[in-house]
Structure 1
């Protein structure tokens, strides 16, 4: 990120951060929101190679997301439905439970290019219905990383008083 964000970012000139996990996940991302000086809206430019996804199937309890497809084609898995999407399509992922879980998978032969835009909550809870995980994070500084982050599974919960004096 530039030291002094400005109101204009040219996607072609932005440095991308490569990411890969296993055989299913790979992308090159560029955080745009911070670059543009935004504090209440998140935005990321994402490129995904054919056959890959940038993240697992998940839903947000506090943040809405929107995806603007700039190039390529993909399957948009949303809740219990799937949609074929392509350049020019705009996708919504409202906050909610597993019925709003979502995932984009590049089904084409070209790189999938899109911008992900989201609201930014101070505290977020994400669920991952396929793996039964959840993520809780707290972002006290809206421009910085989460100050608290925990990934777990609901089936391994503790009693409220576990580990407290007198339990």
Structure 2
């Protein structure tokens, strides 16, 4: 860690690590700027998220393990939490604790300019997420790899499609 301070105007933005398919590109899209890793954070992850007008960064989802918090820096939009939708604007703080689908959340830019927010979360692994709109779930685990880079395991499926524990033994 060279410096534990980073000004938001110094954050380098990049597209999401996995591209949005053409079929979903009209609704999803965002740029992300790493902050936590740059300033040496260990137990919390934080990034700057920039969502263009009319888009959202992620599908509606809930975390069963990690907690998230969002602080709206610029723009307007709405946040879906469970079955409710709430307007959001500059200065709003949004709490997204871990839980079931009643804690599912999605931030949508309904304005006519970029929506910028600071995203903060715990970094416990493994994590399980549910995606209520599509009936999917995802499992992700991150561990240090032999080469020093993160070894990421990600599995997305729907309930009822798994193998029996003893299959193939």
Q: Which residues in structure 2 correspond to 1:76-155 (within 5 Å)?
A: 76-141=79-144, 145-155=150-160
Q: 1:44 maps to what in 2?
A: 47
Q: Distance in 2 between matches of 1:129 and 1:63?
A: 17
Q: Are residues 96 and 107 of structure 1, via their aligned partners in 2, closer, same or farther at CA, if it must alter by over 3 Å?
A: same
Bigger Cα displacement from structure 2, 65-74 vs 128-137: 128-137
Bigger Cα displacement from structure 2, 143-152 vs 47-56: 143-152
Q: Distance in 1 between matches of 2:107 and 2:14?
A: 19
Q: 1:54 maps to what in 2?
A: 57
User: Is it true that 1:15 corresponds to 2:12 in the alignment?
Assistant: yes
Q: 2:95 aligns to what SS in structure 1? A: strand
TM-score (norm 2): 0.89
Q: Distance in 2 between matches of 1:133 and 1:32?
A: 29
C-alpha displacement at 1:155, in angstroms? 2.5
**2:60–2:105 Cα contact (<8 Å) kept:** yes
TM-score (norm 1): 0.90
**1:63–1:118 Cα contact (<8 Å) kept:** yes
Q: 2:76 maps to what in 1?
A: 73
Q: Distance in 2 between matches of 1:5 and 1:26?
A: 31
User: Is it true that 1:34 corresponds to 2:31 in the alignment?
Assistant: no
Q: Distance in 2 between matches of 1:103 and 1:35?
A: 26
CA RMSD of aligned residues (A): 1.8
Q: 2:9 aligns to what SS in structure 1? A: helix
Tell me how many residue pairs correspond in the alignment. Answer: 161
Q: 2:66 maps to what in 1?
A: 63
C-alpha displacement at 1:6, in angstroms? 2.3
C-alpha displacement at 1:147, in angstroms? 3.1
- In structure 2, the gaps of 5 or more residues are none
C-alpha displacement at 1:5, in angstroms? 4.6
- In structure 1, the gaps of 5 or more residues are none
